[in-house]
Structure 1
Amino acid sequence: MTITRLCATALIASASLLIASCGSNSENSSESSTEQSAVDLATPPQDARWESVSGIDSPVESAAGPEATSPVPHGYAHTPQGAVQAAINGQVWLATADDQTWPQVASMMTAPGPGRDQWAQGRSLISVSGSVSQEDAAKFKGFKISDYSEEKAQVLLAADYPGVGLTVYPVQLVWQNDDWKLVLPSQDTAPDLHQLESLDGFVDYSG
């Protein structure tokens, strides 16, 4: 399997709508709305520095983290901007981590659960090395935080895929062990990418 194919598969598989869109009652929704109104959901991470990670332009540094990059990026601010940074970097590393690094990606960048178990099982069966070519790499364009509290967040990431166009997919995160962790969906709950007509309603954030 090529790294390009893995990139598309991992990005789609790591998106999840479940926590934010299912199983909530009116009381929880009201509490979530109150919490969202108290934080800034429309400002991008400040002082961001973008560079290529295995061929994909990524925000490798910002005021919202990560604080460390070894063995994998970790240490994000407990803010919406920290969640955005964790969402993008998590997607990139899930897609491109080589055979030596992917166990650390699983243990340090994702939350325990059946989705992580399935991803790790599938990842152990293939070998990945090298970089994504510029012709095949997705380009991050912006984000929208559709759900946020101190315990969890959902970040909708807009990206431009060569040959596909502008798309959006949701990334679910939880605050765990003093860091934002990606919640990977199980295979039967992973949503598809959805095409966007424009970036209206999204916060511009790109390298």
Structure 2
Amino acid sequence: MAWFTGGGSSGSDDDAPAASVWESRGFVASAIVIGAVVVCLVVWLVAGGGNGSPSTQPTPTATPTATGGTDQPTDDATEPPATPDPTTTTAPTAPVKPSGTGGCRAKNPPQRIPREAPAAVSWQFETNMLIPLQAQGGPAIEDANGLRHCFAHSPTGAVLAAMVTLGQIRNPELTESVLRNRIAPGAGRNLALKAVRTSPTPRNTGQTSQFTGFKVIDYLPNRAIISIAVRLDSQKVAGLPVTLLWVDNDWKLVLQPDGSFNGAVAPDVLQSLNGYVRFGGA
């Protein structure tokens, strides 16, 4: 099991121990590691070979640019409640009071789908990955432990929430806090919280993967589906699908019942950034 699975159904018994992602043959060597909460559960990956898994494609033709790129995308953007679990009863960390009126406090934020990189964005390292910060779209709140939240109720706010949350969950010091506060309640979150309390957490994996773009696949006022483009290395870019829900006045990411973000939808190894808005800090 992993944050981003390779797609396709598995014939494994749910009660059987999950295989270590470090030992599985199907994973591309340049997979993105998310400061794992567990050896089997916390990895962004691109699977190669096997049913439903994308295979490695030729070198992407697009080269990601720094903040402010204006490449236009194409117009192709066309769980039941979990049983209460003792691992989910701890109260969220009390937030630090924000200043200003941005993020989730913004009144009537623009609802247009972003067709170019959000403006006035600064990029800050979270471990070794750059995450975007914008006064208007969020995050507007940073907790005492460094957890960021409070994003605008808009398509741009959803994009920023996806990237910031994916970046922060890689930080071993924040992983559990992200799961408790930045993931929507459900069976997948319960599974991940159980695992993070019992499994070893890999630290420095040597990965230098960075965000390089996004595509809004679908947007409704209370749900957004975003594909986040991440450069794995000098030759590969992956499109990672993420669903977000508007819960408790903020965007929160959804974990599928298997504990991954994408469930049966396999990440794509992209041949180019066509259809994506270029957006990255490196």
Q: TM (normalized to structure 2)?
A: 0.57
Pairwise CA distance, 1:56: 0.8
Q: Select which of 250, 271, 276 maps to 1:197.
A: 271
Structure 2 distance, partners of 1:163, 1:126, is 32
Code of the residue aligned with 1:154 in structure 2: it is I
Identity of aligned residues (%): 26
Partner of 1:121: 194
Q: Do the aligned residues in 1 keep the contact of 2:34 with 2:171 (CA within 8 Å)?
A: yes
Structure 2 distance, partners of 1:149, 1:167, is 25
Q: Select which of 157, 170, 174 maps to 2:241.
A: 170
Partner of 1:104: 177
Q: Do the aligned residues in 2 keep the contact of 1:157 with 1:168 (CA within 8 Å)?
A: yes
Partner of 1:158: 229
Q: How many residues are aligned here?
A: 180
Q: Does 1:183 align with 2:238?
A: no
Q: How does 1:82-93 map to 2 (within 5 A)?
A: 82-93=157-168
Give 1 or 2: higher strand fraction: 1
- Change in Cα spacing, 1:138 to 1:152, as seen in structure 2 (3 Å) is same
Partner of 1:41: 114
Structure 2 distance, partners of 1:57, 1:51, is 5
Structure 1 distance, partners of 2:242, 2:184, is 12
Partner of 2:214: 143
Pairwise CA distance, 1:114: 0.8
Work out which of the two has the higher radius of gyration on C-alpha atoms and give 1 or 2: 2
Structure 1: gaps of 5 or more residues:
14-20, 22-37
Code of the residue aligned with 1:195 in structure 2: it is V
Name the SS for the 1:156 alignment partner: strand
Pairwise CA distance, 1:139: 1.2
Structure 2: gaps of 5 or more residues:
1-19, 23-31, 37-41, 47-77, 79-110
Structure 1 distance, partners of 2:43, 2:202, is 15
Structure 1 distance, partners of 2:185, 2:122, is 29
Give 1 or 2: higher helix fraction: 1
Code of the residue aligned with 2:188 in structure 1: it is G
CA distances 1:165-189 after superposition (whole Å, capped 9, x unpaired): 1110101000010000000112283
Q: Do the aligned residues in 2 keep the contact of 1:56 with 1:132 (CA within 8 Å)?
A: no
Pairwise CA distance, 1:130: 5.2
Partner of 1:26: none
Q: Does 1:55 align with 2:128?
A: yes
Q: TM (normalized to structure 1)?
A: 0.76
Structure 1 distance, partners of 2:201, 2:235, is 24
Structure 2 distance, partners of 1:47, 1:154, is 23
Code of the residue aligned with 1:178 in structure 2: it is N
